[in-house]
Structure 1
Amino acid sequence: MSSPAPDRSTVTRAPKVVLHDHLDGGLRPGTVLELAGEVGHRLPATDTESLAAWFRAAAGSGSLELYLETFTHTLAVMQTAEQLRRVARECAVDLAADGVVYAEVRFAPEQHLAGGLQLDEVVEAVQAGFAEGVADVAARGATTRVSTVLTAMRHAARSTEIAELAVRHRESGVVGFDIAGAEEGYPPSRHLAAFEYLHRENFPVTIHAGEAFGLPSIWEAVQVCGTSRLGHGVRIAEDIEVLGGRDDHGRPRARLGRTAAWVRDHRIPLEVCPTSNVDTGAARSVAEHPVTLLKDLRFRVTVNTDNRLVSGTSMSQEMTALVEQAGWDLADLRWATINAMKSAFLPFDERLDLIEDVVKPGYVALAAR
């Protein structure tokens, strides 16, 4: 039985968990303007509102490659320890203000070396910023937790170095490893040495796959590289034949191919980012996004932001869009949030505590209103 569709106010108050959020894609427009002015970086707009609109327009090109070009401007202002600390601090504060109780934020340390920082210094600066942001949130009477996923760029050759960096900082808040960047022509198997090292170290892995490139990318990420989660993964829908109608349990009647069946059977989480997927052409609209079919077929679906500045979004906006355009209800949002917390790269008992002490009570309170 479905629950009532929540209004925007209810969605905003809901406890949220985000597993796929890029630090360099979520800056405040005002921060980009201020820091760009300090370093002399020329931007395509000169005021906060116009700059935010430029990012949004540039992102909505329908091309992942063009979408990624927007990061030229954010990375330009993230090259010193002070800049990184500020951006990370503001990230934690902004996520908490949106009701995010747990976040895994990712960034690529190799993209922050132009100012002379070393890889370890980059990580330390970001971690310090997150700690400051969490402390700021606590001082305001709220709570949030931010963990870090280190990303290696799939077109580069530093993945093993970044994997070793992640393991080196595992005791200070780095909880996972990722590869990102243009998918086509850069299969995850190019980084097999990094993944083998991480598996030996019992270190969690997520891989961008199944966004701009299809099933072969997902299959390699899962079967060759042994990923724990799939970044995006929406093109798993290409391996699903919808037969029409519903079964006795109300689920869509569908025939799953071998890759889709494996992903569902083994509960491999999908880090779905609806607005971003529309921006990059991986989906035509939120209303038609495969995430609803995947939800109904009970894949391990999670809802995420990807890049808050670039896509002009937030967790509240992602959830509201699913409610208003795809027919999700409060029970669906709760289910996806618990999925995300179950799939976090934290020890089991810490995940369970957040589910039982924060997420479930938060949704009970919303349902009682």
Structure 2
Amino acid sequence: MYSDDFLKRIPKTDLHCHLDGSIRLSTLIDLAQEQGVTLPSYTVDGLKDLVFKPAYNNLEEYLECFAYTTAVLRNAKALERVAYELAVDQFDIGCRYFEVRFAPQLNAIPGELSIEQVILAVNDGLQRAIKEYNAKPEVASGDEPEYCAGIVLCAMRMFTADMSPYYKNFWEVHQHETAKRIYGLASVALVATAGKLRDAVDVPIVALDIAGAEAGFPASDHKEAFELAHKKFFFKTVHAGEGYGPESIFQAITDCHAERIGHGFHLFNTDHFSNPNRTMESRQLYINRLIQYMATMRICIEVCVTSNLQTIPGTTLADHPIKRMLDNKMAITLCSDNTTVSSTDVLKELKMTVDAFQLTPQQLKDISITGFKRSFMHKDYVLKRRYVRKVIDFYERLEREYWINASSSS
């Protein structure tokens, strides 16, 4: 229905992309050799065979990849390089705007590399790529939309002392607190640091997220941090409905003020409820009301199809709820999640979804433009609206060039 060239050229976003899951394998090898970090293999093919696979047996195997990537991202030079290369890779497939997310607590080393230095290094890489791509004649002339990026900081739903030097230090300092209290305190500390850094040097830190194991580690543990983020005018997105059900999504919206939801895979799942005595009728009513609220409030779902297929056992492409999300007129956008760990990118996600669900021209356009509209772009709102209008105009120009008629589809 759509040529590969058309899908590549249309302006796209990636609003859910993890830095430590999107490192080039050649770069991982270089950095590991430079830093003396042990890898299972020092060839790209070897890493693909042993670690970064096309498919995984379970979530645990999927998450093992991050132990290797995080290990090489604990100095500013490496962080700047990986952020720059990720931006280049995104821009090369037609991504005009993306938000990179990461947990700086996993990278920081007390006394050597601060949370602030981690964030600044990532931003340096992003800005270097943005400057290069916006210097292209078609962009600099104003003929095409510019390239932009934002930073989303991830707090962790749970963490252990051995996950990073920063977390080891944090556990030692708060050794008399309960685990749940420690998780929340670390999130509060992250928001406080982010607020000061954003205000001091205007770094495009646009939102707070919580990532990590969902079942058993509720968003409510981080309520204080998200209240603080809310008061500091940060946007909020929360991983929810990936490892648990509709109640987790509801909690993200109510306790964390989430304006977007990461994944949302189990939104329609009547089996994933905390109270086993709740009737099927009441579960369905709960889901229906949640859907209506999210659709009306345009709470956008960051859909990561490939990642879901890899981490949710027994899932097939036909099982994915994206079709039901579209049928309910929900705000959705396609995202990569982790370009390296999931062996994908937004262009691949788009092609796969178009083919599997026979997206109409209007659906394709809506998904593409929704990413820009529901982005947390670090611009004055008036400038953002002007930018989105330019994106739409460019998209429609490409539709005419490729004889795509979105207005004729529902």
Secondary structure (helix, strand or coil) at the match of 2:266 reads helix
Distance 1:193 1:301 in 2: 28
- 2:3 maps to a residue whose letter is D
Write the deviation string for residues 156-175 of structure 1: whole angstroms up to 9, x where unpaired. Answer: 42100111122223321111
Question: In 2, are the aligned partners of 1:55 and 1:311 still within 8 Å (CA)?
Answer: no
Secondary structure (helix, strand or coil) at the match of 2:342 reads coil
Counterpart position of 1:26: 22
4+ residue segments displaced more than 6 Å: none
Q: Is 1:343 matched up with 2:343?
A: no
Distance 2:78 2:187 in 1: 24
Counterpart position of 2:150: 147
Write the deviation string for residues 72-118 of structure 1: whole angstroms up to 9, x where unpaired. Answer: 11111111000001001111111100100011111100000248201
Q: Hey, which of these two has a bigger chunk of strand by percent? A: 1
Q: Is 1:328 matched up with 2:349?
A: no
Question: In 2, are the aligned partners of 1:180 and 1:207 still within 8 Å (CA)?
Answer: yes
- 1:192 maps to a residue whose letter is K
Counterpart position of 1:316: 347
Q: When the two structures are aligned, how many residues end up with a matched partner?
A: 351
- 2:296 maps to a residue whose letter is D
Moved more, 136-145 or 165-174: 136-145
Question: In 1, are the aligned partners of 2:6 and 2:398 still within 8 Å (CA)?
Answer: no
Question: In 1, are the aligned partners of 2:206 and 2:376 still within 8 Å (CA)?
Answer: yes
- 1:112-131 maps to which residues of 2 (within 5 A)? 112-114=107-109, 116-131=112-127
Counterpart position of 1:160: 188
Distance 1:65 1:262 in 2: 33
Q: Which of 352, 357, 363 is the equivalent residue of 2:385?
A: 352
Distance 2:221 2:313 in 1: 23
Question: In 1, are the aligned partners of 2:236 and 2:256 still within 8 Å (CA)?
Answer: no
Gaps of 5+ in 1: 241-253
Taking every aligned residue pair, what percent have the same amino acid on both sides? 33
Question: In 2, are the aligned partners of 1:209 and 1:232 still within 8 Å (CA)?
Answer: yes
Question: In 1, are the aligned partners of 2:81 and 2:125 still within 8 Å (CA)?
Answer: yes
Secondary structure (helix, strand or coil) at the match of 2:89 reads helix
Question: In 2, are the aligned partners of 1:275 and 1:311 still within 8 Å (CA)?
Answer: yes
- 1:92-111 maps to which residues of 2 (within 5 A)? 92-111=87-106
Q: Is 1:188 matched up with 2:219?
A: yes
**TM-score, normalised via structure 2 length:** 0.81
Distance 1:314 1:30 in 2: 17
Question: In 2, are the aligned partners of 1:286 and 1:326 still within 8 Å (CA)?
Answer: no
Write the deviation string for residues 211-236 of structure 1: whole angstroms up to 9, x where unpaired. Answer: 01112211111122221111111211
Question: In 2, are the aligned partners of 1:62 and 1:278 still within 8 Å (CA)?
Answer: no
Write the deviation string for residues 264-307 of structure 1: whole angstroms up to 9, x where unpaired. Answer: 22211101111111111177233331112201210111110000
Q: Which of 205, 209, 215 is the equivalent residue of 1:174?
A: 205
Residues 8, 286 of structure 1: alpha-carbon distance in 2 compared, 3 angstrom cutoff = farther
Secondary structure (helix, strand or coil) at the match of 2:319 reads coil
Moved more, 9-18 or 114-123: 114-123
Counterpart position of 1:138: 134
Write the deviation string for residues 169-194 of structure 1: whole angstroms up to 9, x where unpaired. Answer: 33211111111011111111001110
Counterpart position of 1:232: 263
Distance 1:79 1:69 in 2: 18
Counterpart position of 1:207: 238
Question: In 1, are the aligned partners of 2:10 and 2:398 still within 8 Å (CA)?
Answer: no
- 2:363 maps to a residue whose letter is D
Distance 2:360 2:41 in 1: 38
Gaps of 5+ in 2: 140-145, 160-182, 272-283, 403-410
Write the deviation string for residues 6-58 of structure 1: whole angstroms up to 9, x where unpaired. Answer: 1222211121011101111111111001111111212122212332344442x
- 1:90 maps to a residue whose letter is E
Residues 127, 282 of structure 1: alpha-carbon distance in 2 compared, 3 angstrom cutoff = farther
Distance 2:317 2:306 in 1: 7
**TM-score, normalised via structure 1 length:** 0.89
Moved more, 343-352 or 14-23: 343-352
Counterpart position of 2:326: 295
User: C-alpha displacement at 1:350, in angstroms?
Assistant: 3.1
Residues 139, 282 of structure 1: alpha-carbon distance in 2 compared, 3 angstrom cutoff = farther
Secondary structure (helix, strand or coil) at the match of 2:100 reads strand
Question: In 2, are the aligned partners of 1:272 and 1:291 still within 8 Å (CA)?
Answer: yes
Distance 1:282 1:320 in 2: 23
Question: In 1, are the aligned partners of 2:259 and 2:300 still within 8 Å (CA)?
Answer: yes
User: C-alpha displacement at 1:351, in angstroms?
Assistant: 2.9
